[in-house]
Amino acid sequence: MGNLEQGHRGRLRERFQAGPKVLPDYELLELLLTFAIPRRDVKPLSKALLERFGSFKAVLDASPSEMKVIPGAGKGTGVFLGALRSAVERYMAGRARESDALTSPEAVAAYCRAALEGLKNEVFEVIHLNVRNRVLHMERLSEGTIDQTAVYPRRVVEGALGRHAAAVILVHNHPSGDPSPSAEDRAITRRIVAAARLVDVNVLDHVVVGDGRHFSFREAGLLPDAP
């Protein structure tokens, strides 16, 4: 790698340190790729990835098989960007654990979006909380549709009791990108709320994650007996 390329990478790092938000998406991605591919000009690859997948987020969501067909993006690139996405998800999970789910709902929503946004299939999770509404545990109950599994209320209740949770937050994603709740979403929410009420477990919210957006049953006033 020549002095010119070293100088360019140095300037990218300096600009990032001065203010990360000043870097456009292709330069931020380029900066990240310099750590995965240290001895090659990665600006063309950065632009190619954004053109192929459409957005910075979509690049991180891409699977290794999707990534490897891009010229210049080897196996290491896919592994690096996948690890980066996992790091973001764990960071958001940590923030959610440290937050009060009622006074800082944005932290929980940020975790939900980091964990589920961009997934190709539908996933259903339950977040268990203690009496102070702090996160105890996050459990992925299933992958697939949520309207055909009759055991969800029982499984949610069993999980909450097993974790000694005082409350839960339900979370699932819509791979279509539209977080608007379906009739099935509303029906399963009512059933879970009713089942949880029998054992004095509160359902604080049901968050549906879409593409860049989320829907909160609590905020929309659709959650029965919301505290």
pLDDT tens across 93-126, in order?
676 666 666 566 677 777 777 777 777 788 888 9
What's the whole-model pTM score?
Answer: 0.64
> Which residues span the domain enclosing 126?
107-216
Domain containing residue 24: CATH number: 1.10.150
Q: How far apart are CA 133 and CA 142, in angstroms?
A: 24
Same domain (yes/no): 34, 128:
no
pLDDT at 102: 55
Phi-psi region of 165 (alpha: psi -120 to 50; beta: other; left: phi over 0): beta
Q: Decide if pLDDT at 147 tops 60.
A: no
CB of 100 within 8 A of CB of 133?
yes
Extract the runs of DSSP E, i.e. beta strands, from the chain. 123-129, 135-143, 167-173, 202-209, 214-216
Q: How far apart are CA 81 and CA 59, in angstroms?
A: 8
Position 3, amino acid:
N
Q: How far apart are CA 58 and CA 61, in angstroms?
A: 5
The number of domains in the chain is 2
Same domain (yes/no): 119, 205:
yes
Same domain (yes/no): 113, 202:
yes
Q: Helix H segments across 133-217?
A: 152-162, 183-197
Domain containing residue 134: CATH number: 3.40.140.10
Residue scoring higher pLDDT (196 or 143): 196
Candidate from 97-101, 133-137, 214-218 with smallest mean pLDDT = 97-101
Same domain (yes/no): 9, 68:
yes
Residue scoring higher pLDDT (199 or 138): 199
The dihedral built from the CA positions of residue 52, 56, 58 and 61, taken in this order, carries a sign that is positive
